Structure 1
Amino acid sequence: MGEDVRAALDLVIFDCDGVLVDSEPISLRCLTDGLNRIGVPIDVDTVRVRFAGTSMPSIMDHLARDYGIVAPEGFVAAVKAETLRAFDEGLQAMPGVAEFVAALTLPCCVASSSDPVRLRHSLGLTGLLHLFEGRIYSATMVSRGKPAPDLFLYAAHAMGTASERCLVIEDSVPGVTAARAAGMRVAGFTGGGHWTHDRSGADLTGAGAGQVFGDFHTLAGVVARA
């Protein structure tokens, strides 16, 4: 893929939901329940395909455009509150992620479609917050969320790193698309509970992920190959 792939890595950028924390089965269920309540005829598998890795404003735009449904006032806040309550009852860090990040010799950060409150809540619950304190970037900080490259470009700039020297760890097609549009290398992660449909990660590879892995105990080798 050219000279940029051979450039040294200076930064690893982690998505949060579905990568650092196994939140997607919980959040997709809560979102599906909320959408059903306002009359959107959709199931959790369709929600996963269409909305995993995207921000709530993008999801609301999608509803208005493709379903002709405008969510009532307070809908987003209600779904967010329900999701956080569900996190309190069962959110877990991905196996091996804390050990990997603690041992990582490269600088790292988080760049997520979630809002800052949810990010800190999720990382705090799972004991990961101290590993990323001061290096957590949300889609609320940019004008366009994933699949636009804005968030990853923002994170790289904040960390003082050129795009071609970044490796992004992502679990969603919008996230992979955004990272590639930012000129970054991407490794797709399929170890989350929402990836039971395709552990090979064919969708992620098709979107531009250079490698796919399903276990954080193998990520050191992925980073080395990147």
Structure 2
Amino acid sequence: MDWRSVDAALFDLDGVITPTAEVHLRAWAELFTAALPPDVAPWSDADYFAHVDGRQRSDGVRAVLASRGLTLPEGDPDDPPGARTVHGLGNRKNDAFLTVLHRDGIAGYPGSVRLLDWLAGRGIRVGLVSSSRNARAVLGAAGLADRFPVVVDGLVAAELELAGKPAPDTYRYAARLLGVPERRAVVVEDAVSGVAAGRAGGFALVVGVDRGVGEPALREAGADIVVTDLADLIPTA
């Protein structure tokens, strides 16, 4: 990869910088194993990658329910976790995620931290674009909060009414905050929806990180390059 034509790198968080995708997967599995009725297909890990990965929480709930032909009332964002609403299920999943995060902690992928170090040494600006509303908590738990001067997460998207991935709005907003045009920024994503957002945004390059989705799916969504470790993006010479 030639970094000479790039002024900024915009990273997803879960599965790109930190292995929080594993925590999210366990939390979603716990939620829908209990919430899906017995007369529909049970939850599987494939549901995470097909319907949830990279999406905002409420969008993920709707997508899983729709895959089973189910609907629930929307409810309100402050619905209690026990409510049988889209937001209630989302809040139940969030409680499960935070329990695991605080109990077990989290650390950045070594290769991802190496790339952040390399980019910092060359003055390439970085931003974080995550659908999660817990992005800052995860960065803090991983000791990486000071690495990203710009964080556009699910809270920012909700406040500014930015469409979530696969729409490019959150990535474009992060590039604007960094003062870099899309044609001079690279998007780094592990989710099909995030790769599609980078492609739709007209960014210089979209890098797919294969943490389980598979290279064919990432390339089909629009990834120019697919790696399994972000250290592979560091030039060797």
Pair in the same fold by TM > 0.5: yes
Distance of aligned partners of 1:63 and 1:97 in 2 relative to their CA distance in 1, 3 Å threshold: closer
Per-residue deviation, 1:90: 4.5
For residues 163 and 39 of structure 1, the distance between their equivalents in structure 2, rounded to whole angstroms, comes to 41
Q: 1:95 aligns with which of 85, 105, 110?
A: 110
Contact 1:111 1:136 in 2 (8 A): yes
Match of 2:145 in 1: 129
Contact 2:208 2:225 in 1 (8 A): yes
Match of 2:209 in 1: 189
| Alignment deviations for residues 85-138 of structure 1 (CA, whole Å, 9 cap, x no partner) | 2123152311222232123120011011111xx111111111111111x31111
| Alignment deviations for residues 128-172 of structure 1 (CA, whole Å, 9 cap, x no partner) | 11111x311114424310001111111111111111111011001
1:72 equivalent in alignment to 2:73: no
TM-score of the aligned structures, taking structure 2 as reference length: 0.80
Q: 1:30 aligns with which of 10, 27, 30?
A: 27
Letter in 2 for 1:54: R
How many residues align? The count is: 210
Match of 1:110 in 2: 128
Per-residue deviation, 1:14: 0.5
Structure 1: where are the runs of 5+ without partners? none
Match of 2:185 in 1: 166
32-41 or 168-177, which deviates more: 32-41
Match of 2:76 in 1: none
Is the radius of gyration larger for structure 1 or structure 2?
Answer: 2
Distance of aligned partners of 1:204 and 1:221 in 2 relative to their CA distance in 1, 3 Å threshold: farther
Distance of aligned partners of 1:168 and 1:148 in 2 relative to their CA distance in 1, 3 Å threshold: same
Contact 1:28 1:48 in 2 (8 A): no
| Alignment deviations for residues 161-208 of structure 1 (CA, whole Å, 9 cap, x no partner) | 111111011001100000100001201112x4xx2x64xx12111111
Letter in 1 for 2:224: G
For residues 12 and 231 of structure 2, the distance between their equivalents in structure 1, rounded to whole angstroms, comes to 17
TM-score of the aligned structures, taking structure 1 as reference length: 0.84
Contact 2:105 2:141 in 1 (8 A): no
For residues 99 and 63 of structure 1, the distance between their equivalents in structure 2, rounded to whole angstroms, comes to 35
Contact 1:30 1:83 in 2 (8 A): yes
Per-residue deviation, 1:6: 11
Match of 2:10 in 1: 13
Give the alignment's Cα RMSD to 1 decimal: 2.3
What SS is found at the alignment partner of 1:180?
Answer: helix
For residues 205 and 63 of structure 1, the distance between their equivalents in structure 2, rounded to whole angstroms, comes to 24
Contact 1:102 1:131 in 2 (8 A): no
Per-residue deviation, 1:213: 1.0
Per-residue deviation, 1:32: 1.8
What SS is found at the alignment partner of 1:144?
Answer: coil
Match of 1:148 in 2: 167
Query: Would you identify which runs of 4 or more consecutive aligned residues in structure 1 move more than 4 Å?
Result: none
Percent identity, aligned pairs only, is: 27
Q: Using CA pairs below 8 Å that are at least 6 residues apart, which structure has the higher relative contact order?
A: 1
